[in-house]
Amino acid sequence: MKEITVEELFKLKEPIIIDIRSPIEFNDGSIPGAINVPLFSDEERQEVGTIYKHEGQAAAKWKAMEFVSPKIPLLLKTIKSYQTNGELVIHCWRGGMRSKAVVTFLEFAGIYAWRLLGGYKEYRHYILEKIPTSIPNQAVVLHGMTGVGKTEVLKILEKKGYPVLDLEEMAGHRGSIFGTIGLGDGHNQKIFDSLLYKGLLEIKESEYFLVEAESKRIGKAVQPEELMDVKFKGVNIYIHSSLEQRVKHLVSEYVVKYEQEAWYHDKICLGIEKVLKRVKDVEIRKRLMETLHEKNYQEMITILLEQYYDPRYDYARQEYEGEFFDIFAENPIDAAAKIAAKLDELSFLPLLAANKQ
């Protein structure tokens, strides 16, 4: 049986990773790019676990065999359908009986695959050890009031070849009270860590990276201390944009795309409830409730920016120790162009020339 370590897995070129854990295990956290071909359903896994606890290993193995036996032909056919030019890698939770059984079935069928030693558990242990030492030494941190389009700026610069860590995308959250609108429930810590390590691997040749100024917690995920330390000591670029442009951008991002969805207004109501708990001014509270009742989302955003988000932003900025450079931009495209020009001036970033377009 061919076996491979997690470290060796990362050296394979475009491996085909087959995660045979149950859907609930897979959805809780997985290796980025892995394909879920579950050996057991969630209910079957639970039943086998219950039998193991109350009747012992032999009874649990027998029940597992009863569940799996009828599935073997379809299971092998499904895995084979994903086989291309890349190496097949099979894993379960701890690299135990489930992955051994599937790799054995595959070998009987003439399909040769690697079994990941230690499974997903070892993968997670490995990336948590590697993340702190994989962070480049220099950060260029993008700041700006809510609505200047920092995330869009990062995406534009990433397409131009600059080294970027998009932490909001990794967290599945925009980092605000309304941060999950249109994005689902956000990613948990396991998924965030996996995507962060993947992102760090993609920029491993760079001595610096571009990142957005975020609080340590983004939705359900928390950034590692080592990453926060590098950000706090980094070079800072502050994007300035008019209130009118910021409102226009936020309406486009948060309202136009979703306001016709059945869930939208309820989601906004929940967000406003959270805001109202922190707003003491009676008049502002009244105005927000009026815009909510009227579904006047544009006016609501204007009030939120002027009375809620903007006053809080300058306080957060004080945590950053490095020098600040100001950029005045009409929109994210304009901001990205000006930031690219500014980066060209920063001679302390030695790999910058390699990223010029």
Angle between helices 97-108 and 57-68 (to 10 degrees): 40
Beta strands in the chain (DSSP E): 3-4, 16-19, 35-36, 88-91, 114-116, 138-144, 164-165, 208-212, 217-218, 221-222, 235-240, 324-328
20, 24, 25, 26 alpha-carbon torsion, rounded to 10°: 60
183 token code pair: 């994005």
Terminus-to-terminus CA distance in the chain, angstroms? 47
Catalytic residue annotation: 92
Contact 158, 340 (CB under 8 A): no
Which H helix or E strand runs over 154?
helix 150-159
Helix axes 57-68, 42-55, angle to 10 degrees: 160
